[in-house]
Structure formats: C-alpha cells, structure tokens
C-alpha cells in the first residue's frame, strides 16, 4: 500500500470533474488519498466536488468536499479555513483550476482575455497567498501548480489568451519557488501536454461539431510521439511525486507530462 502522503493534508482546487470520466483534479484527489493523504476537494461545482469525495470515502479515505470559486478571494479563504479546521494544517496545495478560452486574436474580446488570466493565474495567486504564510512559519510544504505545454509552444489551435495565461503560471511558479526555498516550502509545476479529459472534450464541443471534434482528437493523438494522448492518471502520478518526500529537494521545476510532444516541432 502506498503511504507516501500518510498523515498529510492536501488541498486540491479544481478537484471535481465537469463531466463523467476522470479529469486531472478528480484523479489527483483520489490518487493522493490512496497514498494516505487527508484530502480537501474544492470545486466551483458542488456536485463535482461531492462526487470526488464520495469516491475517496468509498475507498476508506478521509475527505471533505468544499465549494469555492478560486477567482474570489473571500471564498478561497473560507475553503482554506474550513479545510484546516476539519483536516489539520495544509501540507500540500494543488492548483488544478483552468479555463480554456478559445479563438484567435480577432475573435477574442477583452473580457475573454481577462477571464483567462483571472481563472488561470489570479486564482492561483489567491490560493497560494492564503496557504503560504502558514507553510513558511512551519518551514514545510509543497505547492503544485498545473500548467500546460501550451504556455511554452504552439499547439496548432488558436488560443492566445489561454497560452499566455499558462506561460504566466510557469513564471509565477518559479518566482515563488525562489522566494520560499529558504523556508523549505517547495513550489513546482506539472505541465501536461495533450491529455484526453472530459474538460478537453467539453471545450472542443463549445467550438466545433461532432465530426470536427473527432478529427481534432485524431490529430492530437497523431501529434504525440508515443502515438496517443495521455490521461488524467498520468498527471496525477506526477503531482503525487512532487507532493511526496521523494521530491524533497525538488523545487522550481516544470515536470512535463506530454509523451515527448515538447521534444518535437510538430
């Protein structure tokens, strides 16, 4: 039995899933619980948070489900306070919240642009600012921000707002890693490539019809040197490593999970 996080309290923002199946946050929450963590699952969707929590409970894990919008600081503070009160001081923070804003420059309006940064970057600022003071005082903690390969290279889809926001996540992570390293608080990013999740399908469905979605999914598989997209468990395993003491001397990295995609020019 994996006990790498035994006794640790983990707070996962974006721990639900937008549709049936396994999203990154849902898989991460369940996997960290299987490693012995007490998990606070936070999601803007109460039903999604409850579903993830139920899965953990069914496996005998200790968990609470919370509802919060990470873009609203007061809701983040309440979620953090509730998690501490129920499960103890937070050892690991996972920021998995993300919003894909599609469309090229001329299709975007300024509200779309601001929404991409508000969700993908400012939300992470809120949660980090809420938990970091206590981690610094305790001289212990791990923060894992979920980025995207889109923040470092073109992916063949026009979404400059999303790409720019995810690039900001990478630099935000590195900045915090340096700032908090003297206090033994580690800050890292998991950087997924093409991962097949319910969120991806939902995002594509907003922009394309069924036949076009299937074509795009086939194209995404073909882009990856391994010949297929990854899944949510690939991302979850990377988060588990960075959350564990096996990564106690690892901070400020981008752990790329992309089947070799970033090594190509495709």
Instruction: Output the pLDDT for position 152.
Output: 65
Q: Which of 258, 112, 108, 124 minimizes the C-alpha distance to 196? A: 258
- Residue 180 vs residues 76, 139, 201, 236, 240: alpha-carbon distances, Å: 21, 9, 37, 24, 20
Q: What is the pTM of this model?
A: 0.92
pLDDT band at 176 (very low <50, low <70, confident <90, very high): very high
Cα separation, 18 vs 27, in Å, equals 13
Domains of the chain with CATH codes: 9-256 (3.40.50.720)
Structure token pair of residue 204 = 């594509």
229-258 average pLDDT score:
97
Average pLDDT, the chain: 91
At 204 the pLDDT is 77
Of the pLDDT bands very low, low, confident and very high (cuts 50, 70, 90), residue 145 is very high
Angle at 132 between CA 199 and CA 174, to 5 degrees: 65
DSSP class of residue 118 equals I
Mean pLDDT value across residues 231-256: 97
What pLDDT is recorded for position 114?
A: 83
Q: What is the average pLDDT across 70-91? A: 98
Tell me the Ramachandran region of residue 54: left when phi exceeds 0, alpha when psi lies from -120 to 50, beta otherwise.
alpha
Q: What is the pLDDT of residue 215?
A: 87
Q: Name the band, by pLDDT with cuts 50, 70 and 90, for residue 117.
A: confident
CA–CA dist 196, 23 (Å, integer): 8
Residue 38 has pLDDT above 90, yes or no: yes
Per-residue pLDDT at 103 exceeds 60: no
Element (H or E) spanning 4, and its range? none
Residue pLDDT, tens place only, 24-36: 999 999 999 999 9
Q: How far apart are CA 209 and CA 231, in angstroms?
A: 23
**Mean pLDDT, range 183-200, rounded to an integer:** 93
pLDDT tier at 106, thresholds 50, 70, 90 = low
165 CB neighbour count, 10 Å cutoff: 28
pLDDT at 212 over 60: yes
Confidence of residue 4 (pLDDT cuts 50, 70, 90): very high
Instruction: Round to the nearest angstrom and report the end-to-end CA distance of the chain.
Output: 40
Question: Is the confidence at residue 245, as pLDDT, over 70?
Answer: yes
Strand ranges (E), 121-212: 141-146, 185-192
Of 19-33, 65-79, 189-203, the poorest mean pLDDT is in 189-203
d(CA 254, CA 19): 28
Strands 9-13 and 38-43: parallel
Catalytic machinery residues: 162
Closest by CA position to 122, among listed 169, 75, 188? 169
| pLDDT reported for residue 183 | 98
**Which pLDDT value is given to residue 1?**
74
Residues 188-216 have a mean pLDDT of 84
Angle at 240 between CA 225 and CA 46, to 5 degrees: 100
**Distance in angstroms (rounded) separating the CA atoms of residues 261 and 227:** 10
């Amino acid at each position: 039995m994996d006990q790498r996080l035994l006794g640790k309290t983990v707070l996962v923002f974006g721990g639900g899933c937008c549709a049936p199946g396994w999203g990154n946050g849902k898989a991460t929450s369940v996997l960290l619980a299987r490693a012995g963590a007490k998990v606070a699952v936070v999601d803007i969707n109460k039903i999604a948070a409850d579903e993830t929590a139920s899965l953990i409970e069914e496996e005998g894990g200790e968990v609470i489900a919370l509802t919060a919008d990470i873009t609203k600081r007061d809701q983040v503070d309440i979620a953090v306070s509730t998690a501490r009160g129920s499960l103890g001081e937070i050892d690991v923070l996972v920021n998995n919240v993300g919003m894909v804003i599609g469309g090229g420059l001329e299709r975007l309006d300024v509200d779309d642009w601001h929404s991409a940064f508000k969700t993908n970057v400012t939300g992470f600022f809120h949660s980090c600012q809420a938990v970091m003071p206590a981690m610094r005082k305790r001289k212990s903690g791990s923060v894992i921000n979920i980025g995207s390969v889109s923040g470092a290279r073109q992916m063949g889809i026009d979404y400059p707002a999303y790409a720019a926001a995810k690039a900001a996540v990478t630099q935000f992570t590195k900045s915090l890693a340096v700032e908090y390293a003297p206090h033994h608080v580690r800050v890292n990013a998991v950087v997924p490539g093409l991962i097949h999740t319910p969120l991806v399908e939902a995002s594509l469905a907003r922009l394309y019809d069924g036949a076009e979605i299937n074509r795009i999914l086939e194209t995404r598989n073909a882009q990856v040197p391994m010949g297929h997209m990854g899944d949510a468990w690939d991302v979850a395993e990377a988060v588990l490593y960075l959350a564990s003491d096996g990564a106690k001397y690892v901070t400020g990295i981008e752990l790329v999970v992309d089947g070799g995609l970033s090594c190509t020019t495709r």
